[in-house]
Structure 1
Amino acid sequence: MEHNSTFPIKQNELNMLRDEASGYLKSIQWEQGARAKNKDKDAKDESILLYLSRANNGSGATEITSVSKTILALKKRLLPDSIAIPVHLNQTLYAVQEAIALGIWVKDSYYDASGLSGLHERRSALDSSGKREYESKMHTATAFMLFSMAYNVLHNLKPHASDDLSVMKQKFAGLPEVSFMTPLKGIACSLFYYDKYLGHPEIIKTDKDVIDFTVVYFEALIDEIQLRKSSLEYTETIVDRTYKLENSDFAISGWDNVFAGTAKSVEFNKIQFEQIVGNRDAKHFARRLTERMLSYDFEAKKNPFQELGGFMPVFMGYGIPGTGKSMLIAAIATRLKEHCDNLDIPFLFHPMPDTLISTFQGGSAEKMVEWMKPMQDPSKLIFAPIDDAENNLQERTAQGVSAGVKEVIGVFLRYTEGAYAVNYGNSSIGLFTNLPEMLDKAVISRVQGRFKIDGARTEHDFLDQDHLWWRKLEKTMPEFINMKSPSDYQYLKAQGLAKNMGDILNNIEKPTEARVLEAYHKAEKLNKVNEHEFFANLYLEIQKIFPFFSSRDVRNIQSAISLRLTDFDLEQDWFDNPEIYFKQNYETKFNMLQELMKQNMKGLDFSEIRRQEVVRYLDNVATIADTDFKRKVDARINQLNIETKAREQFGK
């Protein structure tokens, strides 16, 4: 959804609404609807709903409630001896008051933008279609006010709430009713039930519970509004603009519920690429990824590398256990963080949590959406690794795969391609796995860049791996290491970064996987490798062997080749003086990159690159397809060997 214009919400205008907001907290009147009163018949948690429905002694009369009084009563109950209001109670009360003021501001803005102000002044003289429009706009104004209010509460309190709110969600029995009748009724109704819950002795046991409950309550309010928003009319002036709060990173863009500011960067160990031995392919890829992400333009909300075809929203690193996956994740994060700090760019390290799969029906999807949402925030660079990806994204058709895994994959696919997929070129998801063959096929087909994490591979690699270990001992006791070093090798020299992929792939001649090689030979008999038809025939042969090979794979190969065209270093002085490139506007950056790309392409041979990338990709497809079968065969052979040996021993 394109938001064409941004409007500031000015602090001094909010200050003028603060008294009105605190007035609502001191006292509101609400008469419960008949349906809400009778909710207790089929309630899941009778005590709480019964309590809510009898909130005014069942008399049906309008009742006056006061959130501020309830908070004071809570203070007495929770901390009878303390004089100051406990910090969480205070923080919550303040956040709700600020949010009400902001909601009123947004409602006033909608009144003016939608023409509701004019209708309101002439309301006694309106004809029937005018009355209908007036009521309809009134409902929309109320809904948007409540949405903005709830959204602001979450923005300010969610970072302080507990990470796991499942216990509080279990206690919460839902919202008996939500009113969109008029702004006044909307606020009164939402505060009435908020107040009732706060007053219930089961809900709040500690002052931290107040923040946790408030977050759960206002999340439920947003869900309720999202469910009903399709029935609202006259929403054009809501969806075509963004409201940004002055001196804050809070913004409302239509009904978008992107929790900007709720995802906090996770701590990680700082690791430099030089400390990782071997893994040339992986280190090279990681360096390119960081340079590309750093080129993102915050003003234009896009990345010039995306236009050049060199950006990977989803990539995969795979290899046998113990080759440095976790170190690589930390090294990518370290490199991004250092450059971001240097360039004054907000950075979010956002790994997928281990606790994603939930036993509750629908719980995993909810958690996955919560994890994927921040990736749509255009205001920071985001690196989102999924370590041991086969745990949460495993093949859905395999036996015994939990419903939770299916939910997680569903969300992943929706957010990486399809209606929900927004990629500004500022975030990248990395799947890291020892068992790529166990990943879901649809997930693998979303992967646009892939590389092996194969650890130490040469004599120099193993020398360096040992050197990194014993040099620590040498520092503390120089005489202790009494061994001779190689005369013709300087330690860690081989661990530098490659100039480009050609350096790494120049030894790729023919496919290494037997079935791919066979297809390759068949295609070679029909056409030369520098003819377009060669590849068309090769793909056809591959499809006969691997029926799941599709045009999405061909697209992935194309994007791998495009990546090679942008496989050049950014100039070192661009990093030293950010003004030259990083601080330039989008057009300038794009033109500078295009120049570099042209220079780079002069030294490349397109048909050779195409061949290398196709061979590399198809080998990968075959490896993944065959590994599963091979693993079962190996296990069976192993078992038979053990039995044969055991018989021999037994015979003796």
Structure 2
Amino acid sequence: MGYGIPGTGKSMLIAAIATRLKEHCDNLEIPFLFHPMPDTLISTFQGGSAEKMVEWMKPMQDPAKLIFAPIDDAENNLQERTAQGVSAGVKEVIGVFLRYTEGAYAVNYGNSSIGLFTNLPEMLDKAVISRVQGRFKIDGARTEHDFLDQDYIWWNKLNQSLPDFVNMENPESYKYLSDQGLSKNMGEILNTSSKPSEARVHAICDKVEAKFKSNEHLFYANLYQEMQKAFPFFSSRDVRNIQSAISLRLTDFDLEESWFENPETYFKQDYDTKFNMLQEVMKGNMKGLDFSEIRRQEVVRYLDNVATIADTDFKRKVDARVNQINIETAARKTFENGI
């Protein structure tokens, strides 16, 4: 799941992922299916939405293809079922989604990936969110240098066409685009802090750390137990998701481009040779970190994410109420002054 405020590139990222996958599959002669969720999924007829959702989910059980199935604006079709005014069609879609992903008769060959992209992750159904194994925030420009670079990409095109046309001073201490670039793994992108940023998660970590060291297995068992007390929806599936995130972090590295250009180098080698080659790349990708350090970073990141999503809806309601009170106060003053 990729989430963030509007206008930060979520839809663009869908196209970029699909393009990269298609290129790799073409090089390796693997069939590829780009399978976005259609906008016309919700039906006004009873049972119609479930029928359309089954049709959309079934191709993802095909073991002969590599499949990328993005759901843009996921909150539209996977909204929290208990929220007021949610249509029967949305409930049907979610029911099918849950059964076909990790339900009793789900078939998962491991060759398909569903990507949820949303501006409002707190509006997604809790059971749907619990099935999300990888979560990342798509923030767009955030720092002074980010905004400098975004402007630079725009006005530099004018400057190339009309030299000296942009008659403005450049920053003295920053070289354009030096803070941007392609990352080789998630560790370079993610906040790798070992301390939580959310206050409630920070307090829980401090409480557990007072009894256990973070390199003890008991630390995490007690941490998860305390999280469940503070966030009742936190379950064994969340723990599984954390484990998947750690495994993904360990194996998240770019394969050599030459391996795709010449499949004989890696892809057409025997299993043991490929396994040994991947082990070497994985160890180099850890950049000196050991398992316990990576585990703590991923646990903290996931728990912060849980707290952020849980608190966002409440904060939005509080902000809306504060804004309404300010409007009423200003209106009262205007009315009294008018009299």
| Counterpart mapping for 1:441-590 below 5 A | 441-505=126-190, 507-584=192-269, 588-590=273-275
Match of 2:61 among 349, 358, 376: 376
Q: Given that residues 319 and 453 in structure 1 are in contact (C-alpha distance below 8 angstroms), is that contact kept between their aligned partners in structure 2?
A: yes
Give the greater-gyration-radius structure (CA). Answer: 1
Cα distance, 1:490 vs structure 2:
4.0
The verdict on how the C-alpha distance between 1:634 and 1:462 changes in structure 2, with shifts beyond 3 A counting, is same
1:324 corresponding residue in structure 2:
9
- 1:530 Cα deviation after fit: 1.7
SS for the counterpart of 1:383 is strand
Partner letter of residue 316 of structure 2?
Answer: R
Residues 129-180 of structure 1 show CA distances to partners (whole Å, capped at 9, x for unaligned) of: xxxxxxxxxxxxxxxxxxxxxxxxxxxxxxxxxxxxxxxxxxxxxxxxxxxx
Contact 1:396 1:405 in 2 (8 A): yes
For 1:646, the equivalent position in structure 2 comes to: 331
Instruction: Say if 1:505 and 1:612, in contact at 8 Å, map to a contact too.
Output: no
CA distance in structure 2 between the aligned counterparts of 1:366 and 1:589, rounded to whole angstroms: 42
1:565 Cα deviation from its structure 2 partner: 1.4
Residue 77 of structure 2 is aligned to residue 392 of structure 1: yes
Give ranges in structure 1 of 5+ residues lacking alignment. Answer: 1-315
When the two chains are superposed, the root-mean-square deviation of aligned CA atoms in Å is 2.0
Deviation (angstroms), 1:403: 1.1
CA contact (8 A) 2:67 2:111 kept: yes
Identify the match of residue 604 of structure 1 among 261, 265, 289.
289
For residues 618 and 318 of structure 1, do their structure 2 counterparts lie closer, same or farther at Cα, with a shift above 3 Å needed? Answer: same
Cα deviation digits, residues 468-501 of structure 1 (max 9, x gap): 2223333433342222333554433333122333
Q: Which residue of the partner structure matches residue 103 of structure 2? A: 418
Q: Which amino acid aligns with 2:129?
A: I
Distance 1:545 1:559 in 2: 23
Match of 1:407 in 2: 92
Q: What residue is the counterpart of 2:123 in the other structure?
A: 438
Assess if the C-alpha contact under 8 Å between 2:43 and 2:89 holds in 1.
Answer: yes
5+ unaligned residues in a row in structure 2: which ranges? none
Which of 298, 302, 306 does residue 621 from structure 1 map onto?
306
Q: Give per-residue Cα distances to partners, 1:422-441, cap 9 Å, x unaligned.
A: 23332111000111111111
Q: Partners of 1:362 and 1:345 in 2: how far apart?
A: 35
Provide the rounded CA distance (Å) in 2 between the counterparts of 1:400 and 1:376.
Answer: 33
Could you tell me how far apart the structure 2 residues matched to 1:542 and 1:495 are?
35
Instruction: Give the match for residue 319 of structure 2.
Output: 634
Distance 1:514 1:416 in 2: 33
Determine the C-alpha separation between the residues in 1 that align with 2:246 and 2:27: 31
CA distance in 1, matches of 2:40, 2:230: 38
2:48 paired residue number: 363
Determine the C-alpha separation between the residues in 2 that align with 1:546 and 1:581.
45
How far the C-alpha of 1:390 sits from its partner, in A, is 0.6
Give the TM-score of the pair, scaled to structure 2: 0.92
1:320 CA drift (Å): 1.2
Structure-2 separation of matches of 1:540 and 1:419: 26
The alpha carbon displacement at 1:387 in A equals 0.4
| Counterpart position of 1:50 | none
When normalised by structure 1's length, the TM-score is 0.49
Map 1:166-205 to 2 at 5 A: none
Letter of the aligned partner of 1:455 in structure 2? Answer: G
- Of 441-450 and 604-613, the range deviating more from structure 2: 604-613
| Aligned equivalents of 1:382, 1:499: Cα separation in 2 | 23
Count of matched residue pairs: 337
Q: Distance in 1 between matches of 2:8 and 2:219?
A: 36
Judge conservation of contact 2:60–2:67 (CA < 8 Å) in 1: yes
The share of aligned pairs that are identical, in percent, is 84
Q: 1:570-620: CA deviations, max 9, x gaps? A: 123213322212344555434432343345458322222111111111111
